[in-house]
Amino acid sequence: MLKLRIIPTLLFKDTVLVKSIQYGSLRRVGSARQAVRVNNLRNVDELLFVDIGATRTNSIPDVQLIDDIADDCFMPLTVGGGIKTLHDARSLFAAGADKITLNSAIASNPGIVQEIAQIFGSQAVVASIDVRCIDGQYTCYTNNGENPLDTPPAELAQRLQSLGAGEILLNSIDKDGTMDGYDLTIIKKISEATQLPIIASGGAGKLEHFAQAAAAGANALAAASLFHFTEITPSDVRNFLGEQGFNVRK
C-alpha cells in the first residue's frame, strides 16, 4: 500500500513566491530558495513548485532558478508552469526537477504526455487537472483557470492515464486558498475513475482536512496556505495522519 505523501506547494510569479485565493487575489509570501531550505529542515515528503506566470508569458520556469532550487532541495521536486514540449521538459529535468507537471499542454497537445513518459518514465509526469464546480457540475480548466474544457474531469483523468501519466494533481479552483477543506466529492470521483495516484490540492486549513481527503481517495495531500500562514508543519500533518491509522512515512 502506498504511503500518503504530504506535499507543500510553492507558487511562483515574476521573482517571488505568491499565494492565491481561487486563482486570483495574489499575495506575496517570500523567497523561493528560502522556502526550499525551510522545507528541507521540515523533512517533507516532496515539494511542488509551479510558476503560475509562465503560461501567460509563453515560457517555462527559469531554468537557472530551478537549478539553484534543486541544489538546496533534498526531496523529490516537481516543477510546473508553461511546459509544452519535450525540450521544455528535458531542460527542467536537466536542471534538477524529478518530475514535471503539465496543465495547459494536456489540452493543446495531449500527445506530449505520452512523449515525455516514454523517455523519462510515467513516474516523472504529473498531469494537473484544475476543476471548478458550477451548479453541481464539474468543469476542467487550463491556463490558470481561464479556459474551460469540454472533457469531463473523470474522462480526462482516464485519458491521461492511457497516455502514460504517472499521477494526477487534482486542483480545486473553488477551494484554492480558502482553507475550508478539500473538495471531497471531486476527489472521490477521480479516484474511482482512474488507477493513478491522486494528489489533492486546494482547501487544506486544519489537520482534519487531510484525513478527510485521504479517506476520500487521495494518495497525496498538497497544501500551501496552511504551511505559509499557520504554525502547522508537514510533520504535524504526518503525525496526525499516523495517529488516525493512515499509512505515512515515519
**Please, what's the b/e burial string for 110-122 (b: 16 or more CB within 10 A of its CB; e: otherwise)?**
bebbbbbbeebeb
Which residues are catalytically annotated? 130
The pTM is what?
0.96
Q: What is the mean pLDDT of the segment spanning 210-229? A: 96
Provide the residue ranges of all domains of the chain, joining segments of one domain with +: 5-243
Q: What is the DSSP letter of 2?
A: P
Higher pLDDT, 23 or 87: 87
The CATH fold assigned to 5-243 is TIM Barrel (3.20.20)
The answer to whether 70 and 77 have CB atoms below 8 angstroms apart is: yes
Q: What is the pLDDT of residue 1?
A: 65
Q: What is the mean pLDDT of the segment spanning 92-113? A: 95
What does R_g of the chain's alpha carbons equal in angstroms? 16
Quote the mean pLDDT of the chain: 94
Single-letter residue type at 101: T
Least confident of 22-26, 29-33, 199-203, 235-239: 22-26
Q: What is the mean pLDDT of the segment spanning 105-131? A: 95
Q: What is the mean pLDDT of the segment spanning 71-89? A: 95
Q: What is the DSSP letter of 206?
A: S
Predicted confidence (pLDDT) at residue 30 exceeds the cutoff of 90: no
Distance CA 140, CA 80 (A): 18
- Percentage of residues in the chain having pLDDT higher than 70: 100
